[in-house]
Amino acid sequence: MPDDERNRHDFKNQLGIILGFSEILVAEAEAGDPRREDFEEIHRAAQTALDLLGRLYPDHGDHLLDER
């Protein structure tokens, strides 16, 4: 896998971890928990970053063809 693609993959992995944990925190926040909006902001920002990543560095999948 080329370095650029590896970096993109690793960056996406990190965003996925933030998204996954923040989604769980949002779901588990009790009604009225003041932290819920904070968790939602983290989740929203990670989703926006993921969308940005896709726009800035589109995944063409060339490495998949190179690997096999």
- Rule CB under 8 A: is residue 24 a binding residue for another protein? yes
Q: Which of residues 43-62 bind another protein (CB under 8 A)?
A: 50, 59, 61
**35-45 in b/e burial notation, b at 16+ Cβ within 10 A?**
ebeebeebbee
Q: 4-8: long-range contacts at Cβ-Cβ below 8 A with a sequence spacing of 24 or more?
A: 4/57, 5/59, 5/62, 5/63, 8/53, 8/57, 8/59
Tell me which of 4, 10, 41, 51 binds another protein, using CB under 8 A: 10
Tell me which of 4, 7, 9, 37 binds another protein, using CB under 8 A: 9
Instruction: List contacts with another protein (CB under 8 A).
Output: 1, 9-10, 12-17, 19-21, 23-24, 27, 50, 59, 61, 64-65, 67-68
